[in-house]
């Protein structure tokens, strides 16, 4: 006598087998709990102090502080920080931590940076005492140099 196993599956003991059921609901619950946990503990903000910046880390030997930084190249430019401060009633620009002798040299430096890489972020960071006209002038020079990402730093 031949048995048909496809219609009536039988185990080794001769009794019919029960179909295997996998409970998916607890597995889906665990996956959603993990998803909520990772979303709740993740931070989607970059901490400003941890952002790499090759231009701001240029060090100058003692006595060379009056010299402007070297010509920019593709490797160094990740972010450009322009600090505008008041010294003796005159606005002075600092590019990469080095004080530029005149504000007009800032325009030349920004044009050189724009010629190397136009998509580099430029952050203009004025002191509270700096006149708005000097800040707008620096912003305009950066945009005229072809730099697309020009930002103004703010303080609370």
DSSP code at position 107? H
Residue 2 has pLDDT above 60, yes or no: no
In percent, the amount of the chain with pLDDT more than 90 equals: 9
- For residue 72, how many other CB atoms are within 10 A of its CB? 22
pLDDT score at 13: 77
Residue 62 has pLDDT above 90, yes or no: no
pLDDT score at 111: 87
**What does the alpha-carbon distance between residue 139 and residue 42 come to, in Å, rounded to a whole number?**
34
**What does the alpha-carbon distance between residue 132 and residue 42 come to, in Å, rounded to a whole number?**
38
pLDDT interval class at 66 (50, 70, 90): low
55 with 96: CB under 8 angstroms?
Answer: yes
**What does the alpha-carbon distance between residue 120 and residue 150 come to, in Å, rounded to a whole number?**
9
Buried b (16+ CB within 10 A) or exposed e, 23-55: eeeeeeeeeeeeeeeeeeeeeeeeeeeeeebeb
Residue 48 has pLDDT above 80, yes or no: no
The answer for residues whose C-beta is within 8 angstroms of residue 127's C-beta and 6 or more apart is: 83, 84, 85, 86
Segment 70-126, tens digit of pLDDT: 555 544 567 888 888 888 888 888 887 788 888 888 888 888 888 888 888 888 888
The strand pair at 150-152 and 122-126 is best described as parallel
pLDDT score at 35: 94
131 with 91: CB under 8 angstroms?
Answer: yes
């Amino acid at each position: 006598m031949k048995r048909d196993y496809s219609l009536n599956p039988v185990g080794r003991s001769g009794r019919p087998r029960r179909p295997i059921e996998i409970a998916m609901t607890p597995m889906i619950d665990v996956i959603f709990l993990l998803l909520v946990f990772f979303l709740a503990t993740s931070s989607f903000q970059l901490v400003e102090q941890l952002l790499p910046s090759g231009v701001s880390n240029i060090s100058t030997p003692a006595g060379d502080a009056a010299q402007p930084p070297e010509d920019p190249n593709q490797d160094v430019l990740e972010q450009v920080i322009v600090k505008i401060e008041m010294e003796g009633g005159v606005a002075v620009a600092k590019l990469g931590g080095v004080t530029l002798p005149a504000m007009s040299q800032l325009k030349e430096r920004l044009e050189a940076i724009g010629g190397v890489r136009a998509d580099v972020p430029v952050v203009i960071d004025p002191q509270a005492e700096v006149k708005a006209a000097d800040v707008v002038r620096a912003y305009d020079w950066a945009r005229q140099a072809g730099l697309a990402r020009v930002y103004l730093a703010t303080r609370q």
